[in-house]
Amino acid sequence: MSGVEAFRTEVRDWMAIHLTGKFAELKFRGGSGEGDALPELRKEWERELAAGGWTCPGWAKEHGGRGLSVAEQIAFQEEYSRAGGPGRMGHIGEGLMGPTLIAFGTEEQKKRFLPGILSGTEFWCQGYSEPSAGSDFGNIKTRAKLDPVTGDWIVSGQKVWTSLAHLSDWIFVVARCEEGSIGRNGLIFLLMPLSQPDVEIHPIKQIGGGAEFNSVFFDGARAKAEDVVGQPGDGWKIAMALLGFERGISTLGQQMSFQQELDLIVEIARENGSDRSPAIRQRVAYAWTGLRAMRYLAMRVLSDDQSAEARREALTYKYQWSNWHRDLGRLAMDVLKMDANVVADDPRRERLQQMFLFARADTIYGGTNEIQLNIIAEQGLGMPKEPRGKL
C-alpha cells in the first residue's frame, strides 16, 4: 500500500469512528443551500476535528498544521466528503484567512489568530461584496478613516452576501482608506471583531428557506491599528492573493459533493423510470464527463505545472464548475418530474431541491459569468478590454 493510500485509510477510519453518535446527524449536511444548518453542532464538530489534528492539515507544521503534501491534502478532502463530512464552519478561517495571515501577517497577528482557527473556536467571514461592488470589486465604497489619537481605523459602510456572518466572531474587510482613490488603489485590509456595538448583521432570507447570507452594516466600527494586514494601500494585493487561496485544494472536496449529488440523481432516475429516457441518459453522461474534466483541470492547477497554459486554464475553473452545477440542478428537477414541485418529508428530494435553488446563484456570486468571461479573454487570451460605450 502506497503512502497516500495508507493515509486515505487513516482518514476513512477516523471518520468512521467519529462521525457517529450525536455527530451522525451531520452527515452530508451544510452543503448547497443549507450552509447555516445545525450551526452549533457543526461548530462542535470543528472542535472534534481539531482534537484529532484534522483542522488545517495543509498548513506547515511551524504554524500548527500537519504539513501534508498536495496529494495527501487531496486525499483528505476526498475521503472527508466521501464519508459524508458536513460543510465546514471553519472553512473561511482555514482556507482563506489563515493562509493570508501566514503569507502577509505580522508574527503578532499569526500568534493571535492562527490558534483560534486551528482549535475550531474562532470563526471568520469575508467582507468583500457591497451593494455596488460585487463582481466589480474595484468599486468598493466602504470607508476606513484613521483615528489620529488611537491609531484605530473607523469603518463606515455596508457589506452584503456575507456568508455566515451571524455565526462568526471576526470579519476581514476591504475598505477604502485614501480619500479620492478609485479602483484598486487606496484600499486597506482590516481584521474586525463582529461583537462591537457599531456593527449590525441582518440575515437575508433565501428562496430555499435558509438565511446563510447577511448584510453587515458598519457605523463607526473600529479595527485596531495592529489589525491591519500589510500596509494601508495594500488592500487590493492582499485581497487578490486571498482569492487565490480560495481556488486551492478544497475544490477537490467540492467535486466530491458534486459527485454525491450526481449519484443521488442517478439513484432516483433508476427508481422512478427517468433513466429510460434517452435525453436523460445523455444529460447524465454529459454531467459525468464534465465532472471528470473538472477533476483533471483541478489536478493540473494544483500540480507543479507553472506553464502559461496551465495558468490560463486555471482562469476557466469558476466558469466551468458554476455552469455545470447549475445544469445539474436542472437535471435533478427533470429526473424528479412532478415530485420536484412538491415539498415532502424526503431528505433525498429536499437535498436536490435545495441544490437546484441554490445553484441558480452559482453563476453570479464570486464573479458573474460575464465577469469570468472577461477575465478569461483579457488575462488568458490577451484580448484588450472592451471600452464601455455611452448609454
Catalytic positions, please? 246
> Which three cell numbers, joined as nine digits, stand for 16?
468512521
**Who's near 126: CB < 8 A, 6+ residues apart?**
92, 96, 162, 163, 171, 172
| Count of C-beta atoms within a 10 Å radius of residue 28 | 17
Residues 6+ apart with CB under 8 A from 163: 35, 92, 125, 126, 212, 213, 214
DSSP for 128-153, written as a single string: --BTTBSS-GGG---EEEE-TTT--E
Q: What spatial distance separates the first Cα and last Cα of the chain, rounded to whole Å? A: 65
Q: Yes or no: say if 239 and 174 are a contact pair by the CB < 8 Å rule.
A: yes
CA nearest to 156, candidates 130, 117, 124: 130
Contacts of 212 (CB under 8 A, 6+ apart): 34, 35, 36, 163, 164, 206
What length does the chain have? Answer: 391
Q: Which three cell numbers stand for residue 57?
A: 492539515
d(CA 34, CA 37): 5
Q: Are 318 and 349 in contact (CB under 8 A)?
A: no
Asked whether 163 and 171 are in contact (CB, 8 A), the reply is no
204 in helix, strand or coil?
strand
Question: In angstroms, rounded to a whole number, what is the distance separating the alpha carbons of residues 310 and 99?
Answer: 22
**Mind giving me the DSSP string for 78-106?**
HHHHHTTPPPPTTHIIIIIIHHHHHHH--
DSSP string computed for 216-260: EEEEEEEE-GGGEES-TT-HHHHHHHHHHHHTSTHHHHHHHHHHH
- Report the C-alpha gap between 273 and 383 in whole angstroms: 48
